[in-house]
Amino acid sequence: MRQTGIPHPRLPLPAPGREDDPARFLAWLAEAIPMVEHLGIRSMRREEEQLIWALDLTPSLNDKGTGFGGALAAQTALLGWCWATLWLRRHSMARDVVVAEASQRFLAPVTGDYRLVCLPESDDGPVALAEQIADRGRGRIALVQQLWCGHTLCLEARGNYVVLPAG
């Protein structure tokens, strides 16, 4: 059981050159952030610089029978945090990540199960992040999250994620 004010132990870094096992990472995430087990995340995968979640709508229903905006906004912020955390882990860095800024645009109602896609806002974002961390010990990256229900883009979010100095 999580306790207020006590950090959750970090998941050990994967072996150099290896990626995290998605199921293991999601299990750790549900322990570290208790609300995760209630978000309806079915799976997680990475395709190049994209991190993709498949989600069930039922846990995030609102009173109208569509996606609840607050739940969807929380999911986009968390997916960005996961993108940054997993990027650091692939580069053998155990660092804390925080959300510095987040915004959402709701474009269409979410009426069924959906997928969330997170990617860097600019193609050079990951390279710039690596350079910032190497030069200053910390960095920032802008990420975009898109929620797709079938072929319909229902939500687009943006966030700035900060990698804190080691220590």
Q: Please state, in angstroms and rounded to a whole number, the distance separating the CA atoms of residues 129 and 138.
A: 8
What are the distances in angstroms from CA 143 to CA 11, 77, 158? 23, 10, 6
Residue 136: inside a domain: yes
pTM for the whole structure = 0.96
By CB neighbour count within 10 A (0-12 exposed, 13-18 middle, 19+ buried), where does 41 fall? buried
Residue 91: inside a domain: yes
Under the banding of pLDDT at 50, 70 and 90, the label for residue 167 is confident
Does the pLDDT value for residue 1 go beyond 80?
A: no
Q: Please state, in angstroms and rounded to a whole number, the distance separating the CA atoms of residues 77 and 101.
A: 9
Residue 2: inside a domain: no
Amino acid at 44: M
Number of H helices, E strands in the chain: 3, 6
pLDDT at 51 (0 to 100): 98
Residue 128: inside a domain: yes
The tally of domains found in the chain comes to: 1
Residue with tokens 């997916």, as numbered in its chain:
79
53-111 tens-digit pLDDT: 999 999 999 999 999 999 999 999 999 999 999 999 999 999 999 999 999 999 999 99
pLDDT at 2 (0 to 100): 81
Does the pLDDT value for residue 128 go beyond 80?
A: yes
Residue 64: inside a domain: yes
Residue 146: inside a domain: yes
For residue 102, give the CATH number of its domain: 3.10.129.10
Residue 5: inside a domain: no
Residue 3: inside a domain: no
DSSP strand pairing (97-106 vs 41-47): unpaired
Residue with tokens 């510095």, as numbered in its chain:
100
Contacts of residue 27, Cβ cutoff 8 Å, sequence gap at least 6? none
Segments forming the whole domain that contains residue 41: 22-110+122-163
